[in-house]
Structure 1
Amino acid sequence: MPAAAARPISPTTAERRGLKKMAYGHKTEHRLRVRAQVVLRAARGHSNARIARETGLHLDTVRTWRGRFAHGGLPALADRKRSGRPARFTPVQVAETKALACQLPAETGVPLARWSCPELAAELTARGITDTVSASTVRRWLREDALKPWQYRSWIFIRDPDFRTRAQRVLDLYTRTFEGAPLGEDEYVLSSDEKTSVQARCRCHPTLAPGQARAMRVNHEYGRGGALAYLAAYDVHRARVFGRCEPKTGTVPFMALVAQVMATEPYASAKRVFWIVDNGSSHRGKKAIDRLTKAFPNAVMVHTPVHASWTNQIEIFFSIVQRKVVRPNDFTDLNQVRDRLRKDFQSQPLSLATPKRVGGAFAVPRCASTPTASRSI
């Protein structure tokens, strides 16, 4: 029988432009490139046999793509949808996997703190929910609903029944208001606390300075040189810091810090100086308030809510000290720690972020230090 005549190819201008881009594009897949070259040669009037010789393809392959383009145009050169391999796991098994991932392991009798994909896969097999399943398959199922049971975040539960009242008093002081009345020019707000257990760790090998394409290198092993406490008071509105080092925390070291600040101007002659403190043992309760007022009649102690020292702005300063002054910890002895912590932060103003009220709740930004503050640290 005579061979069937080749299908005539007459692409439009737009189709010819698309074929050339597909045939000679640098990012085109190889299979699409070959198919486009077959059609372009057919558009020039070449026979299927000649195209097969020039491209090295089988004659049936050339005939197939020539016919596909003649019937469906440029989109017909793409792969047709395939059914793929039959699903191995049912939707019910996938749902049971996600339900198990949303439970704490201890609640299901598994002695783990949190799930990981390999452990979930092993548990699914042990319970008979699925046959053998890989950890990557479990991970793909969990990714569909953005489930990550191996991650966790800590949070603080508000325990103080008077949280809103106490927090409002502290935040009002940050905005220069107390009991509904604005503060005067001769009234000041100080945020104070202690940073305990600042250690002197002497590294067994010297710390290496950073270099090109190399980070600073700090030896893991160290010798303990003792620890001290760093007490600080931060003037919220004047951006000044007063600090001192003590062997340990307590009532006497805290009152020494208060005396250090209150002996200087403008606090010595101020009408009122508000001291914002948390509920630590050094300044807790009514006794601490009476003790401060007796020593300095113009001093007013204001406590943050219980278990909410994050409303105290001095914590932001301590985080800066930890990140920029103490860490990485490499000190020969406690004297070197004291010398670094005693740097005069009052020589440069330090600006911290003021807590804001957001949606009826109180939020304290982690840090909003200015470039000037960075230089002072």
Structure 2
Amino acid sequence: MDSPSYRPSPEHHRDLSSQVGRILAGLDLKPHLVRGWLTCPDDPNFYTKAAEVCALYPHCPPHSVALSVDEKTAMQACSRRHPTRPVKPGQIERREFEYRRHGTASIIAALDVHTGQVLVEDIVRNDSATFISFLRLLDQSIDPKLTIHLVLDNGSSHVPKAPRAWLAAHPRFAVHHTPKHAS
């Protein structure tokens, strides 16, 4: 069967596929059907926290800005090996699948959920010190008359003592943590 000249006959394919179909039917297996689930966390405040975060998106409090902040680490920087061929009459756009790797990039970003503006900074590490440095940048970049509502996940750089202490010392920042499994 490993010989390069072996070519299964169409009858062989039909026999094999019908055999697989009979086995799956007999076991009541349906590998083409998938249903995801999430075990609800043991947090009695899950829905309250979720509602608080969700309320910021359509209705920001007066004299405030709502920022969704998160880190994205180790993103691949890639480019296509060959240029995309544009659409032509009677032919769809064609894109080559091969790409070149140019390393990785890590960023931290704050999205103003009402304007769509994004403040992005390259980061070397994803730790508390980096997060606090970014908070300082936000503090300097945003009109001091505005309250800054931060929507944060429970990431390892957001919850230690140092960021909590920094935020407590800067009352213009109002922190809204997403519930576990909801970021």
User: Normalising by structure 1, what TM-score?
Assistant: 0.38
Amino acid at match of 1:236: V
Say if 2:128 and 2:162, in contact at 8 Å, map to a contact too. no
Q: Return the alpha-carbon distance in structure 1 between the equivalents of residues 78 and 115 of structure 2.
A: 34
Whichever structure has more strand as a proportion of its residues is 2
Distance verdict in 2 for CA 1:265–1:291, change over 3 Å: closer
Alignment check: 8 A CA contact 2:76 2:102 kept: yes
The answer as to 2:72 corresponding to 1:192 is: no
Q: Which residue of 2 aligns with 1:236?
A: 113
- Which of 146, 158, 162 aligns to 2:40? It is 158
* 1:251 and 1:283 in contact (8 A); partners too: yes
Q: Which residue of 1 aligns with 2:13?
A: none
The equivalent residue for 2:166 is 291
Q: 1:254 to 1:244 in 2, by over 3 A?
A: same
Does the Cα contact within 8 Å between 1:163 and 1:305 map onto a contact in 2?
yes
CA contact (8 A) 1:277 1:301 kept: yes
CA change 1:210–1:163 in 2 (3 A) is same
Shift of 1:160: 4.4
Change (3 A) 1:124 1:280: closer
Q: Which residue of 2 aligns with 1:53?
A: none
Distance 1:308 1:208, change over 3 A: same
**Structure 2 letter corresponding to 1:232:** A
2:122 counterpart SS class = strand
Distance verdict in 2 for CA 1:193–1:118, change over 3 Å: farther
Letter in 2 for 1:122: I
Whether the aligned pair in 2 keeps the contact of 1:192 and 1:277 (CA below 8 Å) is yes
More helix by share: 1
Aligned to 2:96: 218
Q: 2:136 and 2:32 mapped to 1: Cα distance?
A: 50
Aligned Cα root-mean-square deviation (Å): 3.0
Q: Which residue of 2 aligns with 1:368?
A: none
Residue 172 in structure 1 maps to residue 55 in structure 2: yes
Corresponding pairs, count:
164
CA shift, 1:235, in A, is: 1.7
How far apart, CA to CA, are the structure 2 residues paired with 1:174 and 1:256? 25
Cα separation, 2, equivalents of 1:238 and 1:159:
32
Trace 1:186-335 onto structure 2 (pairs within 5 A). Answer: 186-203=63-80, 205-212=81-88, 213-220=91-98, 222-266=99-143, 268-270=144-146, 272-284=147-159, 287-294=162-169, 296-309=170-183
Change (3 A) 1:236 1:160: farther
The structure with higher relative contact order (CA 8 Å, sep 6+) is 2
Instruction: For 2:31 and 2:42, locate their aligned partners in 1 and report how far apart those are by CA, in whole Å.
Output: 31
Tell me which amino acid in the other structure corresponds to 1:308: A
Q: CA separation in 2, counterparts of 1:238 and 1:265?
A: 13
- Name stretches of at least 5 consecutive residues in structure 2 with no aligned partner: 1-16
Residue aligned with 2:67, SS: strand
Distance across 2 between alignment mates of 1:122 and 1:200: 44
Question: How much does 1:223 deviate?
Answer: 4.2
